[in-house]
Amino acid sequence: MQKTLLFWCPFVGDVGTAKAVLESAKSLSESKNYKCKIFNAYGEFDKYRPLLKKNKIQEIKLIKNTLIKQLPKDGYFWSRLNYILIFIFSFLPLLFYLVRNKNEYLFIYLITSLPLLLVSIFNLNNKIIFRVSGKIRFTILRKLVFLIAKKKIKRILIQTTESKNRILKKGIFNKNILNIIRDPIIDHRKIIKLKNEKIENKFLQKKYFISIGRLTHQKNFLFFIECLKKIIENEKNFIFLILGEGKDRNKIEKYISRHKLSKKVVLMGYKNNIFKYIKHSAGLICTSLWEEPGFVIQEAAACKKIILTSDCYTGPAEFLNYGKNGYIFKSNNHESFIRNFKKLLLNKKNHKKKIKESYKKTKLYTKKYFLSEINKIL
């Protein structure tokens, strides 16, 4: 019998979690065992409508009011206000839908407290699959919600052992419902096709390292450029490309201009195809303050590139087997970054083995693996 899977992930701005939801729903919808539906709370999934239609993923609209869609999304104040309004305006529409569809599986990603409370307080029969990602904060309020809803949560999906251990230490959930399922799904065939597209000639003529991500506090690009300022003084053979957009762009541009780094650090903006740039790079650098484990790290590994990453919470270090499959520096530590970057440059003879092992690890992030693990728990 075909099972219906609901996905709740109202997001504000450009977040990697949305990509995880879409890839997961797409993979599951290709199986005859599942029918997938995504809640489009206030219009956040509108731009993905062609993708939803193509993959036969049903869209469930909740909020008719267009106010939220028109509000700014950048900055702490605006993002919090958006989330509060999504909570308020979604309350009744989501409740009415869940009451009418009690036996469907409900995958929860973001603004988790709303569906958790609705299913618990109104004693609904939806089977909750709670997907934990990123730097989950166990605030007093969140602990209270978890305690109220714990009996309704069928499974908790996590991506790393580090996250699993952290959740277990809180003593709220039984270890039997915690499942490590790696869901940044890597499509190796798609990557091969995309990475072979042409890039601008000026980059083919230069050696460069690449960093990819939103220009936000989480990705820590100002720290990255501060380190580069010290590196460039002695290492003049490389330039550094940063792919992505975000609210910190002006701040980063001013720093680059003030320190006369514009010839060495290039802000490329958002690119639809990152893989063609990864292919021709000397390697990927990730300076994030937190990831789980970070799409771009798996994608660079799938392109068979050497990786230098922070040991941030949670995931990158675990994916690289704590330095055996790449290079790891202490998060937000300038000396550690510079030391490990130099180590990367000097130990090129070890790269082949590290790259081989990290590429092998990407096989755990395939659709086939994801489906086999989901089938075990549903």
Check whether 235 has a pLDDT greater than 80.
Answer: no
Residues 23 and 57 in one domain: yes
Residue 357 is assigned to a structural domain of this protein: yes
Contact predicate 184/160, CB 8 Å = no
Residue 10 is assigned to a structural domain of this protein: yes
Check whether 98 has a pLDDT greater than 80.
Answer: yes
Residues 117 and 172 in one domain: yes
pLDDT single digits (tens) 40-89: 999 999 999 999 999 999 999 999 888 898 998 877 888 889 999 999 99
Contact predicate 11/110, CB 8 Å = yes
DSSP string, 249-317: HHHHHHHHHHTT-TTTEEEEE--S--HHHHHTSS-EEE--SB-SS-HHHHHHHHTT--EEEE--BSSHH
Residues 83 and 199 in one domain: no
Per-residue pLDDT band at 315 (split at 50, 70, 90): confident
Q: Which two tokens stand for residue 191?
A: 């990557």
Could you give the number of structural domains in the chain? 2
Residues 155 and 279 in one domain: no
Percent of the chain past pLDDT 90, that is, above it, reads 72
Nearest-angstrom CA–CA distance, 170 and 254: 42
Of residues 16 and 211, more confidence is placed in: 211
Domain boundary among 181, 206, 233: 181
Residue 374 is assigned to a structural domain of this protein: no
Domain boundary among 181, 198, 233: 181
pLDDT single digits (tens) 152-175: 999 999 988 888 998 999 899 999
Q: Which two tokens stand for residue 102?
A: 């009690």
pLDDT single digits (tens) 117-154: 999 999 999 999 999 876 677 888 889 999 999 999 99
Residue 372 is assigned to a structural domain of this protein: no
Residues 158 and 253 in one domain: no
327-329 β-sheet, strand order: 265-269, 238-243, 207-212, 284-286, 307-310, 327-329
Does this model's pTM top 0.85? My answer is yes
Residue range 225-234: mean pLDDT, rounded = 88
Q: What are the beta bridge partners of residue 286?
A: 309
Long-range contacts of 330-337 (CB under 8 A, 24+ apart): 331/289, 332/220, 332/223, 332/289, 334/223, 334/226, 334/227, 334/230, 337/223, 337/224, 337/227, 337/287, 337/310
- Per the structure, the complete domain to which residue 132 belongs is given by 3-181
pLDDT of residue 119: 95
Residues 170 and 58 in one domain: yes
User: For 284, what's the count of Cα atoms within 13 Å in the CB-facing half-sphere?
Assistant: 32
Chain mean pLDDT for the chain? 92
pLDDT single digits (tens) 19-50: 889 999 999 999 889 999 999 999 999 999 99
Residues 338 and 262 in one domain: yes
Q: What are the beta bridge partners of residue 242?
A: 211, 267
Domain boundary among 156, 181, 206: 181
Residues 250 and 337 in one domain: yes
Nearest-angstrom CA–CA distance, 363 and 187: 10
pLDDT single digits (tens) 170-183: 899 999 999 999 87
Q: 155: burial class by Cβ within 10 Å (0-12, 13-18, 19+)?
A: buried
Residues 133 and 195 in one domain: no
pLDDT of residue 173: 93
Of residues 103 and 63, more confidence is placed in: 63
Nearest-angstrom CA–CA distance, 167 and 175: 9
pLDDT of residue 138: 82
Residues 224 and 165 in one domain: no
* Domain harbouring 37, CATH code: 3.40.50.2000
Place of tokens 């514009």: 262
pLDDT of residue 240: 96
34-40 β-sheet, strand order: 58-61, 34-40, 3-8, 105-108, 127-131, 153-158, 178-180
